[in-house]
Chains A and B, each alone.
Chain A
């Protein structure tokens, strides 16, 4: 191991009440490929943005090559020899590859001199790039090579890669690993952010594991099993929920039969032959790292997006594959999307008017003029029954805190007396009290005989609520199994590697 390049000590950064980084320590040596592991929201990206000068830490110390530095801007970080390859590419779509590389290089333009240098660098690292094509015509792998070349042009001593393989094919990922090995052997320190355990074990000699903004372990990933790493990442946590008493399960309310969906955008995930059944009276949870197809699944369930290429969605026994969200609501389904403002509610509309958004599908709210008395009554009932704290009797949706707005949205749907409730991220960005309240509400709904499907990135939440649990990975959904029969380590493996055919059959 070479000399110490970077030492972070006691880095703390808070966004409002949320501590994204809490006294984080990390050391990186020359020639080392160091993994930064953690679930979504564990604080990995925040830490790297601090190291790249995009965010300022509230407290803590950054030392580069032993000297204490402050990094007020990415230019300052680059001047200290730090390069970054972003997760969501920071490329300019209408520009050529060469122009993209020129932009962060002080004093350079996309001219013949730069071209010669870039080509030499690309040859050295075996990165094939067409420099004159506009970026929007390139594949994800080609784009990433541009990002990497751009970082390399500044001769960095430290390179940060934020989830670099998330959009790559396996072959492209292998090529990337070869490049990184070359770089490390030439003395660069590499910080590799990932939640894919196998590639971390293949590539990295050290790993720092973050959970909830804190460092929970620093270890050699090759010396411990993937299961142990997964357990460190997801951690243990208790949630005080009153479990539903014994109750009988009823007819299947939601059936997905080999549902395959092509995504809308280029960065979307294709859903691959998904099978799932949710019966009346049970709670099924779908866990998984964000961006593995959960949003696409929610859109397919609500009928809002994606192109179904094969398979069926059945609700209350009827085929609704080609029917819109209102037809699905008419069959007894209710939906709570991930985005509270803008999708679940109109931010600048009062809570009473927001009742209309879902209720119009099944209820009469006035023929010519709005039945303001009725929607007002509904809103008041929801506010009372579901403990929504409001600053005034009928506030605008945007005036509520995240937790209270979520309670309102969930309550609004439950007031419709659904037989099938589909909730995407029930407590994302919600304080612990409200989160427990919402989970309890959904458990009670199932106890009264409704089928409940919860999509959650929060594994604690998924395990606490679900009778059965399935894991989404790369557009595939594992078989739903009783939570009592699953260990945390098993779920962790499913989240990071998906279901291998052998284990699925076992």
Chain B
């Protein structure tokens, strides 16, 4: 029982980057844009964040630098798919490959350098709650930021005018254009937001989760974040649930590698994807069209003039 708070804390730490990246991609996909470059934006955020932190000797600054780097990369994606109306799948894959290469270059001089942890934040009173209080209400500031982001995304998409327009653009860009909504401008904002969050998730990995930089350290988390968005089927609450579930699986996998769980760790690595397939099946059987994806997801938009 005394292990539980510790395990919970590691689950939260493992889940936070997934949650943040997936929240960003969720917003992008609600606007009807499929950005498969999450992995690339994440690793560039990780490398840039770590490099910036070492150079300025400020991990907090590094976190923000990483987020901005992710956003910069997503701007390249936005230029391609919005201005030149390129195929989103191909462009996103290219972005991932480019991001992996770029990150290796940026992080070249920083491999193996350690960083000190950012001092954790405790919420007064709440963290005094016995057993679970310390696990939930003591953590790094990005963890708390991610909780704020959940609320921000859910509220922004469903309760604000901008969220209404963003979802409208994603549902049918043809109708949105016919009504005179600025389809490309709204999508640009959504793509940049997705990039910002992917970069933030990456910086979290290198500056909080592992606290060192090594090439390829994102290790497929960008893809898990994408799978999460599919798993969520358009609902933020399911996205949050999925993120902590997948985070839990990641931790369980580490324990499996150490031999503490009687399951092969490879099976646990595959589990997020298997669950995504199961969720897709479930959504498809339940008869919702497009399995909860935005109506014009992935289609290039070229207005007649």
Closest to B162 in A: A109
**Would A56 and B164 be within 8 Å (CB), given that A86-B178, A109-B159 are in contact?**
no
- B180, A78: Cβ atoms closer than 8 Å: yes
Question: A55, A74, A91, A103: which contacts B165 (Cβ < 8 A)?
Answer: A103
Distance in angstroms from B178 CB to nearest chain A CB is: 4
Interface presence of B148 (CB below 8 A): no
* Additional 8 contacts, C-beta under 8 A, given A94-B295, A104-B179: A55-B304, A77-B180, A92-B295, A93-B171, A93-B172, A93-B295, A95-B171, A102-B161
**Would A92 and B304 be within 8 Å (CB), given that A54-B178, A107-B161, A109-B159 are in contact?**
no
Closest to A103 in B: B168
A73 to B167, CA, bound (A): 21
Contact residues in A for B172 (Cβ distance below 8 Å): 90, 92-93
A30 to B304, CA, bound (A): 31
A interface footprint on B75-89 (CB within 8 Å = 1, 0 otherwise): 000000000000000
Distance in angstroms from B198 CB to nearest chain A CB is: 26
Contact residues in B for A56 (Cβ distance below 8 Å): 305
Contact residues in B for A322 (Cβ distance below 8 Å): none
- B175, A109: Cβ atoms closer than 8 Å: no
A interface footprint on B143-186 (CB within 8 Å = 1, 0 otherwise): 00000000000000001110011011001101111111100000
Distance in angstroms from B175 CB to nearest chain A CB is: 4
Contact residues in B for A55 (Cβ distance below 8 Å): 304-305
A-B contact list, 17 entries, CB within 8 Å: A53-B180, A54-B180, A55-B305, A78-B180, A91-B175, A92-B171, A92-B172, A95-B167, A95-B168, A102-B164, A103-B164, A103-B168, A103-B176, A103-B181, A104-B180, A108-B161, A109-B159
A77 to B178, CA, bound (A): 12
A74 to B175, CA, bound (A): 12
B interface footprint on A44-63 (CB within 8 Å = 1, 0 otherwise): 00000000011110000000
Closest to B290 in A: A94
Would you list the 8 A-B pairs with minimal beta carbon distance, nearest first?
A74-B180, A90-B175, A90-B178, A92-B171, A104-B179, A75-B180, A103-B168, A109-B161
Contact residues in A for B167 (Cβ distance below 8 Å): 92, 95
Contact residues in A for B180 (Cβ distance below 8 Å): 53-54, 73-75, 77-78, 104
Distance in angstroms from A105 CB to nearest chain B CB is: 9
Closest to B292 in A: A94
- A99, B164: Cβ atoms closer than 8 Å: yes
Chain A interface residues toward B at CB < 8 A: 53-56, 73-75, 77-78, 86, 89-95, 99, 102-104, 107-110, 136
Listed residue (A89, A102, A103) with the most chain B CB atoms within 10 angstroms of its CB? A103
Listed residue (B164, B165, B176, B181) with the most chain A CB atoms within 10 angstroms of its CB? B164
Distance in angstroms from A266 CB to nearest chain B CB is: 12
A56 to B159, CA, bound (A): 34
Number of interface residues, chain B, beta carbon within 8 A: 21
Closest to B178 in A: A90
Main secondary structure of the interface of A (DSSP, over half): loop
Distance in angstroms from A382 CB to nearest chain B CB is: 33
Main secondary structure of the interface of B (DSSP, over half): helix
Distance in angstroms from A140 CB to nearest chain B CB is: 16
A103 to B304, CA, bound (A): 21
A73 to B178, CA, bound (A): 9
Contact residues in A for B165 (Cβ distance below 8 Å): 103
Contact residues in B for A103 (Cβ distance below 8 Å): 164-165, 168, 176, 179, 181
Distance in angstroms from A52 CB to nearest chain B CB is: 8
Listed residue (B160, B167, B180, B181) with the most chain A CB atoms within 10 angstroms of its CB? B180
Docked complex: B219-238 residues within 8 A CB-CB of A: none
- A92, B168: Cβ atoms closer than 8 Å: yes
Contact residues in A for B289 (Cβ distance below 8 Å): 136
Closest to A74 in B: B180
Distance in angstroms from B235 CB to nearest chain A CB is: 13
Distance in angstroms from B169 CB to nearest chain A CB is: 9
A104 to B171, CA, bound (A): 15
Contact residues in A for B175 (Cβ distance below 8 Å): 89-92
Docked complex: B290-305 residues within 8 A CB-CB of A: 295, 304-305
- A110, B178: Cβ atoms closer than 8 Å: no
Contact residues in A for B305 (Cβ distance below 8 Å): 55-56
A9 to B304, CA, bound (A): 23
A93 to B171, CA, bound (A): 8
A interface footprint on B188-206 (CB within 8 Å = 1, 0 otherwise): 0000000000000000000
Contact residues in B for A78 (Cβ distance below 8 Å): 180
Contact residues in A for B174 (Cβ distance below 8 Å): 90
A92 to B289, CA, bound (A): 13
- B168, A109: Cβ atoms closer than 8 Å: no
A439 to B166, CA, bound (A): 49
Contact residues in A for B160 (Cβ distance below 8 Å): 109
Closest to B160 in A: A109
Contact residues in A for B164 (Cβ distance below 8 Å): 99, 102-103, 109-110
Contact residues in A for B171 (Cβ distance below 8 Å): 92-95
A73 to B176, CA, bound (A): 12
A89 to B159, CA, bound (A): 25
A73 to B165, CA, bound (A): 17
Distance in angstroms from B19 CB to nearest chain A CB is: 25
Listed residue (B165, B167, B168) with the most chain A CB atoms within 10 angstroms of its CB? B168
Docked complex: B262-304 residues within 8 A CB-CB of A: 289, 295, 304
Distance in angstroms from B81 CB to nearest chain A CB is: 21
A418 to B142, CA, bound (A): 72
Distance in angstroms from B254 CB to nearest chain A CB is: 40
Distance in angstroms from A491 CB to nearest chain B CB is: 32
Contact residues in B for A108 (Cβ distance below 8 Å): 161
Contact residues in B for A86 (Cβ distance below 8 Å): 178
Distance in angstroms from B303 CB to nearest chain A CB is: 9
Question: B159, B161, B179: which contacts A90 (Cβ < 8 A)?
Answer: B179
Distance in angstroms from B293 CB to nearest chain A CB is: 10
Distance in angstroms from B30 CB to nearest chain A CB is: 11
Listed residue (A55, A77, A90, A99) with the most chain B CB atoms within 10 angstroms of its CB? A90
A93 to B175, CA, bound (A): 10
Contact residues in B for A73 (Cβ distance below 8 Å): 180
Contact residues in A for B168 (Cβ distance below 8 Å): 92, 95, 103
Contact residues in B for A91 (Cβ distance below 8 Å): 175
Distance in angstroms from B156 CB to nearest chain A CB is: 12
Contact residues in B for A90 (Cβ distance below 8 Å): 172, 174-175, 178-179
Distance in angstroms from A78 CB to nearest chain B CB is: 7
A109 to B168, CA, bound (A): 12
